[in-house]
């Protein structure tokens, strides 16, 4: 019998079935929103990150709801929702998964012509590299846009969030699974699973990841990101990734919680160090 089928049977055999059969709760966070400078990255012919992120999030929501999930968007209109409010929405919803959706971009003209691909991030106080650090700063609003505490205090706060333990380890697994699905579903170049101190992830109490679905600044990839067909592929990949994560990680965790210590689930838990990869370079 396949592991997935065995796991499903185990779940139905667990006590408190009514509670455990409740729908998967997913919070999707369309990045940015509102007027400049909160509208995100720009591409050719009037492409805006805020618009693409919302369109993809809405399509992903529809697909997940068709599978029985409860899905909440942190914004469903063109509005600037503060990062703290996005986190609050996820926590108050009691979400099982939080996924923030963004488009990447390059500033230099020569880089805009060649840099493309997808990358997925999970929270860490230690960015994968200088590029991950810079991206986190941009997504956090920049040093002038967001009143950050002193550096040492900021790192301490993130480390306190990391003390949530299993949710953070699961975030690394979520990032890996989502990255695998979006690369497979869109055939876009993979820039890897990376880590950085994103504020929108730091306060969440559930497995969380931030996915850069492509470079809006690249002539061809940006054009595809603005089209319904490619957005549909991205949305399908994200929905499949979330569902795959729920089946492989969340369900396994639920089984492990009701087993005796001698009946640990098969496999080794995923941790941040095991999935982080340097990805490509800009």
The number of CA neighbours under 13 Å toward the Cβ of 248 is 17
Look up the pTM and report it. Answer: 0.75
Q: At what angle do helices 49-66 and 228-245 cross, to 10 degrees?
A: 50
Give the per-residue pLDDT at 11.
Answer: 41
Kindly state whether residue 3 falls inside one of the protein's structural domains: no
pLDDT in tens, 147-191: 333 334 444 454 454 445 667 789 999 999 999 999 999 999 999
Kindly state whether residue 2 falls inside one of the protein's structural domains: no
Kindly state whether residue 282 falls inside one of the protein's structural domains: no
241: domain range? 24-275
Kindly state whether residue 19 falls inside one of the protein's structural domains: no
Whether the CA torsion 167, 22, 31, 148 is positive or negative: it is negative
Pick the closest to residue 182 from 235, 105, 135 (CA basis): 235
Kindly state whether residue 120 falls inside one of the protein's structural domains: yes
CATH number of the domain to which 99 belongs: 3.40.630.40
pLDDT in tens, 196-241: 777 777 788 899 999 999 999 999 999 999 999 999 999 999 999 9
- Work out the angle at residue 213's Cα, subtended by the Cα atoms of residues 209 and 219, and round it to the nearest 5 degrees: 155
pLDDT in tens, 42-82: 988 889 999 999 999 999 999 999 999 999 999 999 999 99
Pick the closest to residue 176 from 230, 243, 245, 127 (CA basis): 245
Give how many domains the chain has, as a whole number.
1
């Amino acid at each position: 019998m396949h592991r997935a089928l065995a796991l499903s049977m185990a779940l139905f055999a667990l006590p408190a079935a009514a509670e455990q059969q409740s729908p998967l709760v997913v919070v999707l966070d369309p990045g940015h929103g509102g007027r400049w400078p909160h509208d995100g990255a720009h591409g050719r012919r009037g492409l805006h990150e805020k618009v693409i992120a919302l369109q993809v999030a809405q399509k992903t929501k529809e697909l997940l709801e068709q599978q029985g999930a409860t899905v909440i968007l942190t914004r469903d209109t063109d509005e600037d929702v503060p990062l703290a409010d996005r986190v609050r929405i996820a926590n108050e919803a009691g979400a099982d998964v939080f996924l923030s959706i963004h488009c990447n971009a390059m500033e230099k003209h020569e880089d805009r012509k060649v840099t493309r691909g997808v990358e997925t991030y999970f929270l860490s106080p230690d960015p994968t590299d200088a590029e991950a650090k810079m991206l986190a700063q941009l997504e956090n609003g920049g040093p002038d846009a967001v009143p950050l505490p002193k550096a040492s205090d900021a790192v301490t706060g993130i480390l306190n969030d990391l003390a949530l333990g299993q949710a953070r380890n699961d975030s690394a697994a979520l990032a890996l699974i989502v990255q695998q699905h979006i690369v497979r579903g869109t055939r876009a170049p993979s820039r890897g699973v990376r880590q950085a101190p994103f504020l929108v992830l730091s306060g969440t109490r559930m497995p969380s990841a931030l996915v850069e679905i492509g470079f809006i600044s690249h002539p061809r990839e940006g054009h595809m990101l603005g089209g319904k067909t490619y957005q549909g592929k991205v949305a399908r990949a994200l929905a499949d990734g979330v569902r795959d994560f729920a089946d492989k990680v969340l369900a396994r965790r639920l089984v492990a919680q009701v087993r005796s210590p001698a009946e640990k689930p098969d496999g080794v838990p995923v941790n941040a160090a095991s999935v982080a990869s340097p990805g490509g370079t800009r």
